[in-house]
Every structure is written in C-alpha cells, then in structure tokens.
Amino acid sequence: MLELNHIQKSFDGSTVLKDISLKINDGEIVSILGPSGCGKTTLLNLILGITDPDQGEIIYDGEDFTKKPMEKRGFNIVFQDYALFPNLNVMKNITYGLKNKPGISTESEVSDLIDLLELREHLDKSIDQLSGGQKQRVALARTMVMKPNILLLDEPLSALDGVIKESIKDRIKTVAREFNLTTIIVTHDPEEALTLSDRVLIIDQGKIAQYGCPGEIVNQPENDFVRHFILNQLEIKRNNIFALFGKGKGVAA
C-alpha cells in the first residue's frame, strides 16, 4: 500500500499542494483528476521521487520512502510525451532499460508483453514510423518490462483521439489487471478518470476535493467543485452532442 501523509509542496513561495493525505491499495487503478495547474504532475513527481515534499511523508509497504532516491523506489513513469529514443527501433526501445538491469524480465516475459500490447509487427520499425497510439504502447511496454511496483502515467491519453483513446484505455486496464499493478494516472478529463479507474482523486487548487470510487463521485459529489467543475463538464459534453444530433433511438429516456 502507498500512503501519503500531510504532503505539502511550494514553489517560489506559492503553495502548490496543501496537506495531501491518501492511501492507494495494491493493484488499484487511481486517477488524479483536476484542471490544468492544480498540482497533478507535482503530486506524481513527489510519488516518483523526482521532487521532494516540503512537509509530510510517503510510506510504501510500511517503509518510509520520503527521502528514498527515485531509482531505489521501484516506481516507474510514462511521461506525457512518451520520451522514446528516436534513434532506436521499437524492440530496442522496449528492452533499453534491461541493459542496465538484465534479468528483471525474462525473454519470454518481454515476448508476452509485446503480444499483450500488440506490438509484434512493429518491432523493427523506427519510432517516427509509428502512430500516436503505437508510440504510447511502446512507452507502456518499455516501462512494464522493468516490472515497476507502481506504474505512473501522466496524461497518457491526451495526445490521442477517439477510437485509439478507447483502445489504449482498455489496454492500460488490461495490463494493470493482468499484473495486479498499482497504477496512478494523471488526467484533466473527468470522463477518462471515471471510466478508467477504481478510485478518483479530485484536486482543486492543491487540495483534495474528493477521493472516492466513480459511483460515489457521480452520485454523491461532496462539494460544489466536484458538482460544477467535474460533473458539469460531463453534462455539457453530453448536451452538446444531443443538441447536434438529438437523442436518437439508441438512448433510453
């Protein structure tokens, strides 16, 4: 279990995160949801160990991780821009991390991941030959071969559209479930958060507005921020579509 206790973080005298406390169970998929600039990436960086908190503690499986260096935490991130190596082909990108830590994944485990993420036919391609969704799958595979204890994803779907978005969403879920992997996903899109995760952490200006399962968020919003900024966005999207095309025959009243 990952536990954050009273985490606080400021940059240049302005407080970005205020008293963040939460628990994430093993194997849970949690989304961190909130508008741009509310502190989502900062929170991810604190968990990963790129950034240190000013106050508070980070506990993982009962051990104090607050001062533990990033490379010793065993967490791993897929960055928003994927950060793939453009000069290496797909296979070399996927296995890059194993050069320094051989044996973390066996050849057959790497092969299974390649199949799970449907990358086999692309292995010899260079990165610039791939679509956005394919790049995202390579980034996911490259991170997964390192067998992280926690997988962190920063806006994994924001560069993708429509059908591809749905298919990557499914794959992230499949991989997380298959490996019983604790997965933390940053997003600013309420629909994404509510459909992808077991629990959603909603942040408003550096504070937790609500932390609960999607059903609770939708049915029992705890404050105006959740009601107006999160649920209204969904409602507006829905109304825009219905205004354009009507409710159609497929939609129950």
- The binder of 38, among Mg ion, ligand ADP, none, by C-beta within 5 to 8 A per type, is ligand ADP
- The binder of 16, among ligand ADP, Mg ion, none, by C-beta within 5 to 8 A per type, is ligand ADP
Q: Which residues contact 235 (CB under 8 A, 6 or more apart)?
A: none
Rounded to the nearest whole angstrom, what is the least distance from the CB of residue 14 to ligand ADP in the complex? 7
What is the number of H-type helices and E-type strands within the chain?
10, 10
Q: Which residues contact 226 (CB under 8 A, 6 or more apart)?
A: 202, 209, 210, 217
Which range touches Mg ion (CB under 5 A), out of 34-42, 112-120, 124-132, 165-173? Answer: 34-42
- The binder of 73, among ligand ADP, Mg ion, none, by C-beta within 5 to 8 A per type, is none
How many residues touch Mg ion (CB under 5 A)? Answer: 2
Task: Compute CA distances 243 → 51, 81, 131, 161, 228, whole Å.
Answer: 45, 34, 32, 22, 20
Q: Is 146 left (phi over 0), alpha (psi -120 to 50) or beta?
A: alpha
- The binder of 128, among ligand ADP, Mg ion, none, by C-beta within 5 to 8 A per type, is none
- The binder of 9, among Mg ion, ligand ADP, none, by C-beta within 5 to 8 A per type, is none
Closer CB to ligand ADP, 39 or 190, in the complex: 39
Which range touches Mg ion (CB under 5 A), out of 37-45, 167-175, 214-222, 223-231? Answer: 37-45
Q: Which residues contact 120 (CB under 8 A, 6 or more apart)?
A: 114
- The binder of 85, among ligand ADP, Mg ion, none, by C-beta within 5 to 8 A per type, is none
- The binder of 71, among Mg ion, ligand ADP, none, by C-beta within 5 to 8 A per type, is none
Identified binder of Mg ion from the candidate list 31, 41, 51, 210, rule CB under 5 A: 41
Q: Which x/- pattern, by CB under 6 A, does the window 4-43 give for ligand ADP?
A: -------xx---x-----------------x-xxxxxxx-
What DSSP state is assigned to residue 246? -
Closer CB to ligand ADP, 77 or 117, in the complex: 77
The Cα–Cα gap between 158 and 119 comes to 21
Cα angle at 77 between 102 and 73, to 5 degrees?
65
Q: Would you count residue 87 as binding ligand ADP (CB under 6 A)?
A: no
The Cα–Cα gap between 214 and 153 comes to 19
Helix axis angle for 132-144 and 162-178, nearest 10°, is 10
The number of residues in the chain equals: 253
Helix (H, G, I), strand (E, B) or coil at 102: coil
Closer CB to ligand ADP, 169 or 188, in the complex: 188
Rounded to the nearest whole angstrom, what is the least distance from the CB of residue 191 to ligand ADP in the complex? 17
Q: Of 174, 154, 221, give the one whose Cα is nearest residue 194.
A: 221
Residues at the contact surface with ligand ADP, assessed by CB under 6 A: 11-12, 16, 34, 36-42
